[in-house]
Amino acid sequence: MTVLPDSIKKELKENSICKPFYITDIGFYPNARHHYRTRKKGSKEYIFMYCVEGKGKMKIDDTNIEVLPNSFHIIPKNTPHEYKSDENEPWSIYWLHFSGHSSDALYKRYLEFRSTDGNIAFENNRIKMFNEIFLMYKSEYTVPKLEFANILGLQFISSFIYTTKEFASETTSHTNMINSVIDFLTANLDKTYKSDEIAKQFNCSPSYLFNLFKKRTGYSLIHFFNLKKIQKACEYLKYTDLSIKEISYKVGIQDPLYFSRTFKKYFGISPKDYRKEQQE
């Protein structure tokens, strides 16, 4: 385990990068027989606990919780609690204390997204991330290293809070679909498609795909498609000797004048001027 000195905690609290989220204590207790803590007034920080093996019990205020393998729990700050490892099947836990002005909002999301038993699928990448944070906390307390450790710490905590079964499956399926749409559009920059034709490729309604794509990327389908076309045109203008007319055809725009207008709409200058700038 590693506990930061008070002077370092104060530095993190005032550091512009770390003050939204920073870790004050961190550790790993393998096969922690006889591990027991009680805090009648609670802790000044939130306490995160991730059990990978064994089991135990936890009591927060008057709520009793059974801690099982592959479950995580967050104990709110300033809240009476106690926890104890099972004598026959002692837990192995990764834990940390965290604070910062975004910690209250993180805890609120935890309450919103958590499953009733705190169960979560095991991912080795989380353990690797934890170990990286732990090693940085055990080395010298240089500011950049602490900043990076706490950026990773926020990512580590978020990988639990934002990955409930329901939330993860919805996000993954939608993300995979949007990635497939982007791959399809990128592979067909030399063609012209309408929104309904793209939706047909993915067996969904144009309105559903439009709303999902807009939500995930911030762009409409056609706006994104045109943006990719113009980005590709930039490559041709910069790295080839193709004429503007030939480039227009290569990105699926049959009217070179329309191509020039569209290019200027996105980049603020004409294709001719863009090429000239790249050659200077």
The predicted-structure confidence for 51-94, as pLDDT tens digits, reads as follows 999 999 999 999 999 999 999 999 999 999 999 999 999 999 99
Mean pLDDT, residues 231-244: 92
State the CATH class of domain 165-280: mainly alpha
- Whether pLDDT at 247 is above 90: yes
**Can you give the pLDDT at residue 111?**
93
Task: Indicate yes or no: pTM above 0.75.
Answer: no
Cα end-to-end distance, the chain, whole Å: 58
Going by the DSSP 8-state scheme, the letter that residue 55 receives in this structure is B
Name the residue with higher pLDDT: 217 or 167: 217
DSSP assignment string, 249-261 = HHTT---HHHHHH
State the pairing for strand pair 71-75/46-53.
Answer: antiparallel
**Can you give the pLDDT at residue 82?**
97
Per-residue pLDDT reduced to its tens digit, 160-198: 998 755 555 555 667 788 889 999 999 999 999 999 999
State the CATH class of domain 2-163: mainly beta
Compute φ and ψ for 69, nearest 5 degrees.
Answer: -60, 145
Per-residue pLDDT reduced to its tens digit, 118-177: 788 788 889 999 999 999 998 878 999 999 999 999 999 999 998 755 555 555 667 788
Domain boundaries, the chain: 2-163, 165-280
